[in-house]
Amino acid sequence: MLRMSLTKAARSTAILRTFSTSARTMAAGDTGSPPKTGGLGDAFQKRERAQEEMFIRKAEKEKLLQLKEKIKAQQEHLQQLSDHIEDMTKEQGGEQN
């Protein structure tokens, strides 16, 4: 009895192990598949490429604006420091102005 139950259990697990899947492949001419000639591709690929480029340009523009703001803040800080240095040298009598 025990031997029969073990062989049934072994058979049922062996059946489950044979199940497998394969990777999905695209044939030439399918929507989204790369073109054979290396051209631009179909309309879907063109639209997707354009959206990606727009996203990248927008992100780069935002980064440039942030950098410009940082540069402006640093220039203001440098101007304050140079004004402070001028005031200190005038107080000490270093310049004859």
Domain range list for the chain: 48-92
32 close to 45: Cβ distance less than 8 angstroms: yes
Phi and psi, residue 32, nearest 5°: 95, -10
* pLDDT score recorded for residue 21: 65
Residue 11 pLDDT grade (very low, low, confident, very high; cuts 50, 70, 90): low
* pLDDT above 70: percentage of residues in the chain: 54
What percentage of the chain carries pLDDT values higher than 90? 42
Average pLDDT in the chain:
79
Q: Where is average pLDDT lowest: 2-6, 16-20, 29-33, 37-41? A: 16-20
Comparing 54 with 97, which gets the higher pLDDT?
A: 54
